[in-house]
Amino acid sequence: MKVTDHISNAQGKTLFSFEIVPPVKGKNIQELYNNIDPLMEFNPPFIDVTTSREEYVYVNKEGLLDKKITRMRPGTVGICASIKHKYNVDTVPHVLCGGFTKEETEYVLVDCQYLGIDNVMALRGDAMREEQYFTPAKGGHTYATQLVSQIQNLNSGQYLHDDTPMENNADFCIGVAGYPEKHLEAPSLQSDLKRLKEKVDAGADYVVTQMFFDNQKYFEFVEAAKKMGINVPIIPGIKPMAVKRHLQLLPQVFKIDLPQDLIDAVDNCENNKAVRQVGIEWAIQQSKELKKAGVPVLHYYSMGKSDNVYSIAKELF
C-alpha cells in the first residue's frame, strides 16, 4: 500500500515508522531482523531502507594498489523484499541519482514493481567520500527532480527508451527529502523550498525531513512550504542523539543547529550510555510535541541498533 494511503487511512492519527541501513557486506541479515523485531510492536505501516553511495577501495595486486569501486552496503531492494514478506509491512527503498545511470535506475524500479513494492524515496545522494561536490554518474541524473520525473514517466507507462506497452502501469508513491534548516548546498532556505516545490510538481507524493532537534524549525518549515504551495504530507524525521561525538558530527555533516539545552545535557554526560539516555529523553519530548501538533507520521532514523527507538516509541505509541 502507498505511504499516502496509510496516512489517509489513519484519519489524523500519528503513525510510527523508521529507517534502517543495510548491513555491511559480509554481515548476516539476522542482526537487522533482531533490531526490527521489537519495533514491530508499534505497527509501523512502512519501513525505509537506505541506499549507500559507492566508494573506492584499493586492492593489492602483486605489490601495486589497484583502485576499484564497490558498494559496502548493497542489497537495498532485496532487504525491502525480505522485510515486506517476513513482517507483512510495506517497505520503501531509497533510490539514488548518484552512482546510477538512468537505465540502471529503470531496472531497479522494474525489480520493485515485480516485488510488489509500492513506494520509493527519490534522492540525489551525497557526494562520494573522495569528492568535494556531487558528481552525477555518466548518463545519470543530477537532481532528485529528474529522478522523480523518471519514476512519474514509468507511472504513466513510459519506459526510458522504448515504447513497449505496459500491461500494468507502475504506480509508485514517491517520497522526497526536505530540509527544515535548508540543504547544505542551497544558497537559502527559500531557494531550497523552491527546489522542493519542483520535486512535488514533478510528482512527489510526500516529503520526509532531514533530522532536526528544535521542533520550531519543523513547524516554520511546514508553514513556509504551505505558503510555497506544497500541499503534500511532510513527515518529520527524528534522530535520537546517541554518542558524544554527534555534537560535532551532526552540525558538520548536515549543517543543522543544536539547541543549547541539548548541547549542555550531552556535555554533562560522563559516558555514551548517559548520552544515549539524554538522546532518548530529548526525542521523546520532541515526538510528544509533534504528535500533539498532529504530524502524519513520526519517522525515526534507527541506524542499526533499535533499543533507543524502542524506548521512545514505547512512550508514544
Residue 213 has φ and ψ, to the nearest 5°, of -115, -5
62 annotated active-site:
no
Count how many Cα atoms sit within 13 Å of the Cα of residue 306 in the half-sphere of its side chain.
23
By CB under 6 A, is residue 17 in contact with ligand FAD?
A: no
Interacting positions 58-87 with ligand FAD (CB under 6 A):
none
What is the separation, in whole angstroms, between the first and last Cα of the chain?
21
Rounded Cα gap, residues 173 and 120, in angstroms: 6
**Closer to ligand FAD by Cβ: residue 44 or 278:** 44
For residue 296, count CB atoms less than 10 angstroms from its CB and return exposed for 0-12, middle for 13-18, buried for 19 or more: buried
- Give me the least distance between CB of 239 and ligand FAD, in Å please: 10
Q: Spot the catalytic one: 19, 54, 106, 181.
A: 19
Q: Which element (helix H / strand E) includes 94?
A: strand 90-96
By CB under 6 A, is residue 237 in contact with ligand FAD?
A: yes
By CB under 6 A, is residue 105 in contact with ligand FAD?
A: no
Rounded Cα gap, residues 24 and 21, in angstroms: 9
Q: Which of 144, 170, 234, 313 binds ligand FAD (CB under 6 A)?
A: 144
- Give me the least distance between CB of 143 and ligand FAD, in Å please: 4
Q: Which of 29, 38, 53, 274 binds ligand FAD (CB under 6 A)?
A: 53
- Give me the least distance between CB of 93 and ligand FAD, in Å please: 9
15-20, strands of its sheet edge to edge: 234-235, 206-209, 173-178, 119-123, 90-96, 46-49, 15-20, 297-301, 237-238
Choices 67-75, 149-157, 192-200, 216-224 (CB under 6 A): range interacting with ligand FAD: 192-200
For residue 254, count CB atoms less than 10 angstroms from its CB and return exposed for 0-12, middle for 13-18, buried for 19 or more: middle
Characterise 104 by phi-psi region: left (phi > 0), alpha (psi -120 to 50), beta (else).
alpha
- Give me the least distance between CB of 147 and ligand FAD, in Å please: 8
Choices 25-33, 58-66, 121-129, 308-316 (CB under 6 A): range interacting with ligand FAD: 121-129
**Buried (b) or exposed (e) across 222-251, using 16+ Cβ within 10 A?**
beebeeeebebbbbbbbbbbbebebbeebe
- Give me the least distance between CB of 269 and ligand FAD, in Å please: 27
- Give me the least distance between CB of 179 and ligand FAD, in Å please: 7
Q: Which residue has the cell 531497479?
A: 108
**Closer to ligand FAD by Cβ: residue 50 or 306:** 50
Choices 62-70, 181-189, 264-272, 306-314 (CB under 6 A): range interacting with ligand FAD: 181-189
What is the set of active-site residues?
19
Question: Which parts of this chain interact with ligand FAD (CB under 6 A)?
Answer: 50-51, 53, 94, 96, 123-126, 143-145, 177, 183, 185-186, 192, 195, 199, 208, 210, 237
